[in-house]
């Protein structure tokens, strides 16, 4: 979290917005700026019985910044997701209130969560979204590329053959393609995109959204000098298809 963040004080406002027994809350948390946490998210994290999270240290840091007293944290990751989901399901069926968070942003969007939602929906457990920050939507909202239709592909597969199949399958799509990428692969991703899209394709590369060094490249694939992209921080890449 950067130093523009404003720590919450106390637990005022929990009251009628408190977590209810037997309900799973899917809570969006900041992608860089603590002030982006919603009051509703704060109320649920303050009042739930336990929190399922990707990395307990990361979530504990968030709770400490928010002045929320310590509470049980359970690791919920892709590895062992089915067993963890069943464990959390039993807690919910025993009338505990559970909040699911990821390290940053909205759980289950390129993050763990899907299996838990599925099992809860199948078993009739109430699932409540607490909408909050999401890197893809934040990027799309400011990138200057079409927003009437967008295709979220998350992280591309590692092998070029599978990337080719994915782009071929979506060839007819008209709008903005949204990709996530890690900093150590961003330059390679641009080289890969040049193989599949015309050089005059409009793209936006958003970097470190909501953080102190937030930036955005807006232009064509041809004009972008990929060597200027930082090898640190986080990226969302947006591509206009059929513009």
List Cβ<8 Å contacts ≥24 apart for 166-173: 167/196, 170/241, 173/149, 173/241, 173/242
Task: Name the residue nearer to ligand SAM (CB basis): 106 or 176.
Answer: 106
Task: Name the residue nearer to ligand SAM (CB basis): 52 or 96.
Answer: 52
Least distance CB 12 / ligand SAM (angstroms): 27
Biggest CA–CA distance in the chain, Å, is 58
Task: Name the residue nearer to ligand SAM (CB basis): 50 or 109.
Answer: 109
Cα-based distances in Å from 165 to 22, 35, 104, 152, 168: 42, 40, 30, 16, 5
Q: Give the residues lining the site for ligand SAM (CB under 6 A).
A: 31-32, 102, 104-106, 109-111, 134-136, 180-182, 206, 208-211, 234-236
Positive or negative torsion for Cα 191, 193, 197, 199: negative
Task: Name the residue nearer to ligand SAM (CB basis): 67 or 182.
Answer: 182
Judge whether 105 and 138 are in contact, CB under 8 Å. no
Which of 18, 74, 71 minimizes the C-alpha distance to 41? 18
Within 13 Å, how many C-alpha atoms sit on residue 197's CB side?
A: 25
Q: Using alpha carbons only, what angle is made at residue 106 by residues 166 and 138, rounded to the nearest 5 degrees?
A: 75
Task: Name the residue nearer to ligand SAM (CB basis): 32 or 89.
Answer: 32
Phi, psi of 144 (to 5 degrees): 80, 20
Least distance CB 100 / ligand SAM (angstroms): 11
Least distance CB 75 / ligand SAM (angstroms): 16
Task: Name the residue nearer to ligand SAM (CB basis): 32 or 47.
Answer: 32
């Amino acid at each position: 979290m950067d130093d523009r963040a404003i720590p919450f004080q106390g637990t005022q406002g929990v009251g009628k917005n408190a977590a209810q027994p037997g309900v799973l809350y899917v809570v969006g948390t900041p992608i860089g700026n603590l002030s982006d946490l919603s009051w509703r998210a704060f109320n649920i994290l303050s009042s739930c019985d336990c929190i399922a999270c990707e990395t307990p240290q990361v979530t504990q840091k968030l709770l400490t910044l928010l002045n929320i007293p310590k509470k049980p944290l359970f690791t919920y990751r892709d590895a062992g997701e089915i067993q963890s989901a069943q464990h959390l399901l039993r807690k919910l069926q025993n009338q505990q209130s559970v909040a699911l968070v990821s390290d940053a942003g909205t759980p289950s969007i390129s993050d763990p969560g899907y299996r838990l939602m599925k099992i809860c929906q199948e078993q009739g457990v109430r699932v409540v979204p607490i909408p909050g920050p999401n890197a893809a939507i934040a990027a799309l909202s400011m990138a200057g590329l079409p927003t009437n239709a967008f295709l979220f592909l998350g992280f591309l597969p590692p092998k070029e053959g599978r990337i080719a199949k994915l782009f071929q399958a979506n060839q007819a799509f008209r709008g903005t393609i949204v990709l996530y990428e890690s900093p150590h692969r961003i330059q390679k991703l641009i080289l890969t995109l040049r193989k599949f899209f015309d050089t005059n394709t409009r793209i936006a590369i958003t970097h470190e959204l909501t953080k102190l060094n937030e930036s955005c490249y807006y232009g064509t694939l041809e004009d972008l000098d990929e060597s200027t992209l930082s090898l640190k921080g986080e990226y969302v890449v947006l591509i206009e298809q059929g513009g």
